[in-house]
Chains A and B, each alone.
Chain A
Amino acid sequence: MTRIFDIKRYSIHDGPGIRITIFFKGCPLNCIWCHNPEGISSEPQRLYKEQKCIVCGACVSVCKRKALSMVQKEGSMFVDCDYSLCNVCGECEDICPSLATEICGKDMSDDQILKEIEKESIFFKSSEGKGEEGGVTFCGGEPLMHYKDLLRLLKKCGDLSYHRTVDTTLFSSKEIVKEVADNCDLFLVDLKHMDGDLHKKYTGVSNDQILENIRFISDYECDFYIRIPFIKGVNSDKENITKSANFLSSLKTKPIRVELLPYHDIGKTKHERFASTYNKEGYLLEVPSEEELFSAKEIFKSYGLNVV
């Protein structure tokens, strides 16, 4: 069984071609800008979408542990949850008519996951001569945190000749990275900050292991993209960008492409859906300008990297 918090079809921004993306629940990092905060905890969580709630009270009445209650806020009613009482039994999700309450994180069998992948698989083979082959992308959360599940699924997908991509921070042991590398076709690796202290400040962990693993997959001649969440005031400064470019260009096997993903604040909605313990600093982050993005790309280009 693998704990999944989402499966997205026609996924076109997570690797080559048309893909299906499987989101593993649980991540060892806690980035302040995280736009998939429901992927951080490995435990199932109750999500609540207030704008979908019709305030029917059905969930309150079925909650055996009395965790849920109707409360009034600024004149309108909503359902409040005392998370210390909630044991995520899922009764509220079953009864909720409007998908306002959902349990995020479902344990799925390999067969269930493979059945979903198979549904999308007809779109993997590109009929466009120049188009790239699609496939399956495992992302998270951090898939390497669940490497046993991941490896099992990677092997099964390999048996079916699906193109396999793993979207990861590489925050893991070298042994695990090697085993994953032996069983996947492409890595999408997040590179968040070159400075160890700042990396720890923003993500909660040091970048030593991450940089080492990037070097390792490069030496091991894996195919990989580097993806940089480009965040103003965090890692968008010239110094960090230059260091990043310098590091990447020094690698034996260069990344196939470097993707700069400009920070956006849409993820904020998601935090409101469960009493997120999310770092409040995240709310203060700013969206970078087109000019900043452009000059950062120029730096990568000047180091001979394929940046998009």
Chain B
Amino acid sequence: MNDRIKHLRQATVETKPSLSIERALIETEFYKENYGKYPIPILRALNFMEICKKKTIFIGDRELIVGERGPRPKAVPTFPELTCHSVEDLNVLNTRELQPYSISQEDIETYAKEVIPYWEGRTQRERIFNHVPEAWKEAYESGVFTEFMEQRAPGHTSMDGKMYETGLLDFKKRIHDEISKLDFLEDPEATDKQEELKAMSISCDAAILFAERHADLAEDMAHERLSVLGDDVSHDNPDYIRAQELLKIAEVCRWVPANAPRNFWEAIQMYWFVHLGTITELNGWDAMNPGHFDQHLSPFFEKDKAEGFLTDDDAKELLSCFWIKVNNHTAPPKVGITAKESGTYNDFTNINIGGVKADGTDGVSDLSYIFLKVIEELHILQPGSSLHISSVSPDKFLNEGVKVIRNGYGYPSIFNPDTYVQELMRQGKSLKDAREGGCSGCIEVGAFGKEAYILTGYLNVPKVFEICLNNGLDPVSGLKLGLETGKAEDFKSYDDLYEAFLKQVNYFVDMKVRVSNYIDRMFAKYAPAPFLSVYIDDCISKGKDYYNSGARYNTNYIQCTGLGTITDSLSSIKKHVFEDKKFSMSQLMTAINRNFEGDEFMRQYILNKTSFFGNDDDYADDIAVGVFNDLYKAIDGKPNTRGEVFHMNMLSTTCHVYFGKIMGATPNGRKAGVAISDGTSPSQGADTKGPSSVIKSMGKLDQVKTGGTLLNQRFLPSLLKKEEDVNKLCSLIRTYFGLGGHHIQFNIVDTETLYKAQDNPEEFRDLLVRVAGYSDYFNDMNIDLQSDIIARTENEKL
């Protein structure tokens, strides 16, 4: 890491997130003045223009890649048109212990006076909440599902390679060509299309203006330095050098995004301006992704290197500057109770590295390895990164990637293009579009640059089962949320119980789909995204917005959470209640209802003598496959409002923690309030047979039916100490991908985790300790030896 990157890294790590009211003030004033004067798409484009024109421009000390969404790094704007923070929200954000966002009292007062009154009754959130059925609201508030779109705009989009060949001026020309082709006699939508296209054109101008303002500022800063220095100055004077850099920045910002980039530096800055544009225009879930960034940048890298004005170190420095830019962009905070759902500063920009090219050949390049170095050196919170390992990816690349993983930063995660290309094609994408696709955000698959894939929220599958066991009643809130499918004690067989559970699943899925479709229309009508639409095929040629079926592909996802918890709960009931009659359903229900207080024998019996998902045991795995297929049947193919359908995803991010909090005890021995399992990983600690067994269990799910699954695995550093251990892990990953796995991620356990394991042994039953020839479960060891292992782990830090 050179001095510049050290300096920038330190700054981004040390800067505390704050809230900026600048965007809200500009926007509120603009809306007050202009709402009603223009068609909505044009209003939104002019609003974007207004922000680009008026927002504070920031160029930080020693930066090479420039641009901030807020007035300064980590200053997060608000988006009152979507959801308006109350004074109470702002106070909470300012003072809460975890993930605070600082804001001055003066700004809070200004917000209360200028912003809040105007937006009352006009936000997307109110539009949605004022119209949703009461039953939906109750289920939502009780944690049966979440709804992404009530606080942020639909997002989760990744870019393809267009912007590296096409400047905004080129796009403008295309847009105007489309306008001139509109047929106002035959096409009833011609007027709507014209408005949308005009809005796109205005957005192009806005982004160019935004870049120009950076060029102006950079020039001013350069000239200021030069004028202080006078004429007679040495060329190694730091101020002189910085002035030259600023002039170079100005040159770059005058060229992109108006024109297609000519070199590596411009290509990175190009992406960054587009990224900033999309996250300034609206607050999309969960940020924006550059997609296959190494593949897009590689031709520039090769050309610049061949021409002799870029070295590997230069490339690494520019990429590091970009990485730090992403890290400067803290996620906008939520309002109200949803803050509980995912308390994180992280927005989910996910850099895809490697993978396949459109023609199916290997996408790994020399630049991919430089990406790995950047990740290893910087190890900052954002952006996330992922290795894309297909059967044609070289072993060396996987091996180098695993060596980054073993540092224990939690990334990169690893994806399997051979599976996700099939997933995309099953949904109807062309082979080329599928291969150019990848994973954005957490694990979601998408056709990069061509798809609006809207994640609508998490479905708490174990909660649905809890409601089923209570005949439609939620025992936590006391509300009647589900259908009356019968009392748990009255089910004559496991099959009867399972059938009732599926009825509840279908009931809640339909409830969610209905509201998601309503919300989709609200975004299409009130919050179009003309700037984003410029970059997503085929919005321009269709003359339609990203949110209004302009994209080539238009998907909605429901993300199912808790496959492990539901499987283990069903397995427990099937085995102990119906088959072995070890205890009766009413005994089990009594135990669950009192959170196993006084029922430790039963709880331990369930925890230790039940077949759980993740152990390569068909008893539990068959149940998991059944649930998986039935969730798929309930969700996949339900029509959305954009001419396509809903699909199933299986992930949870951090939501399984929230979902666990609002649930009572479950039949798998999990106590009330404890996190449920995440997307598709086994329940915490339930997989006691090691990683190969987990992989076998996961391989039994037909993952091609999803838009992504998630598998987290815990490893102690001692399992990755030697070069040959790394190779063996590579084999393990390859085998999983051969079985059709979509994603795997390794958390290299640190000492902190081991301390947690001492305190909560049952969540960590999978934690295997291996020391040369000896292995044992961490929780089976006595306290002294556990301490010894903790000390060893500390020493083994790689």
Check A98 against B608 for contact (C-beta < 8 Å). Answer: yes
Check A49 against B604 for contact (C-beta < 8 Å). Answer: no
Q: Point out the residue from B601, B734, B773 that lies within 8 Å of A261, measured CB to CB.
A: B773
Given known pairs A97-B605, A129-B395, the reply for A266 and B771 (CB within 8 Å) is: yes
- By a CB distance below 8 angstroms, the chain A residues around B727 are 128, 130-131
Interface centre among A17, A36, A99 (most CB of B within 10 A): A99
Binary B-proximity of A110-137 (CB < 8 A = 1, otherwise 0): 0000000001101100111111101000
Check A269 against B772 for contact (C-beta < 8 Å). Answer: no
Apart from A8-B690, A134-B731, A262-B772: 12 A-B pairs, beta carbons within 8 A: A9-B692, A10-B693, A13-B770, A17-B731, A18-B692, A50-B782, A51-B783, A98-B604, A227-B773, A264-B771, A266-B771, A269-B780
Judge whether A299 is part of the interface by a CB distance below 8 angstroms. no
Interface centre among B399, B616, B722, B782 (most CB of A within 10 A): B782
Judge whether A62 is part of the interface by a CB distance below 8 angstroms. no
- By a CB distance below 8 angstroms, the chain B residues around A267 are 774
Q: How many A-B residue pairs lie within 8 Å, measured between CB atoms?
A: 119
Using a CB-CB cutoff of 8 Å, which residues 748-798 of chain B contact chain A? 769-776, 779-783, 785, 788-789
- By a CB distance below 8 angstroms, the chain B residues around A17 are 728, 731
Nearest-neighbour CB distance to chain B for A107, whole angstroms, equals 21
Check A127 against B690 for contact (C-beta < 8 Å). Answer: no
Check B601 against A128 for contact (C-beta < 8 Å). Answer: no
- By a CB distance below 8 angstroms, the chain B residues around A82 are none
**Nearest CB in chain A to that of B722: its residue:** A308
Q: How far is the CA of A268 from the CA of B725 in the complex (A)?
A: 26
Nearest-neighbour CB distance to chain A for B717, whole angstroms, equals 14
Using a CB-CB cutoff of 8 Å, which residues 58-108 of chain A contact chain B? 58, 97-99
Q: How far is the CA of A99 from the CA of B774 in the complex (A)?
A: 20
Check B780 against A52 for contact (C-beta < 8 Å). Answer: yes
Check A123 against B735 for contact (C-beta < 8 Å). Answer: yes
B-side interface mostly: helix
Binding site for B on A (CB under 8 A): 8-10, 12-14, 17-18, 35-36, 49-52, 54, 56, 58, 97-99, 119-120, 122-123, 126-132, 134, 227, 261-262, 264-270, 272, 308
Judge whether B696 is part of the interface by a CB distance below 8 angstroms. yes
Q: How large is the interface on B (under 10, 10 to 19, 20 to 34, 35 or more residues)?
A: 35 or more
Judge whether B131 is part of the interface by a CB distance below 8 angstroms. no
Q: How far is the CA of A49 from the CA of B730 in the complex (A)?
A: 35
Check B696 against A122 for contact (C-beta < 8 Å). Answer: yes
Check B774 against A264 for contact (C-beta < 8 Å). Answer: yes
Check A266 against B769 for contact (C-beta < 8 Å). Answer: yes
Q: How far is the CA of A209 from the CA of B789 in the complex (A)?
A: 37
Q: How far is the CA of A40 from the CA of B512 in the complex (A)?
A: 60
Q: How far is the CA of A56 from the CA of B783 in the complex (A)?
A: 22
Check A122 against B601 for contact (C-beta < 8 Å). Answer: no
Check B731 against A269 for contact (C-beta < 8 Å). Answer: no
Judge whether B431 is part of the interface by a CB distance below 8 angstroms. no
Nearest-neighbour CB distance to chain A for B691, whole angstroms, equals 5
Nearest-neighbour CB distance to chain A for B441, whole angstroms, equals 28
- By a CB distance below 8 angstroms, the chain B residues around A49 are 780
- By a CB distance below 8 angstroms, the chain B residues around A14 are 773
Check B601 against A54 for contact (C-beta < 8 Å). Answer: yes
- By a CB distance below 8 angstroms, the chain A residues around B788 are 265-266
Using a CB-CB cutoff of 8 Å, which residues 122-172 of chain B contact chain A? none
Binary A-proximity of B683-723 (CB < 8 A = 1, otherwise 0): 00000011111001000000000000000000000010010
10 closest pairs, A vs B, by CB? A97-B604, A97-B605, A127-B734, A10-B690, A98-B604, A10-B692, A261-B772, A35-B774, A99-B608, A12-B728
**Nearest CB in chain B to that of A129: its residue:** B395
- By a CB distance below 8 angstroms, the chain A residues around B693 are 9-10, 119
Judge whether B662 is part of the interface by a CB distance below 8 angstroms. no
What are 16 A-to-B residue pairs whose CB atoms are below 8 Å? A9-B616, A12-B725, A18-B728, A51-B782, A51-B783, A97-B603, A97-B608, A119-B696, A123-B692, A123-B732, A123-B735, A128-B395, A128-B730, A262-B772, A266-B769, A267-B774
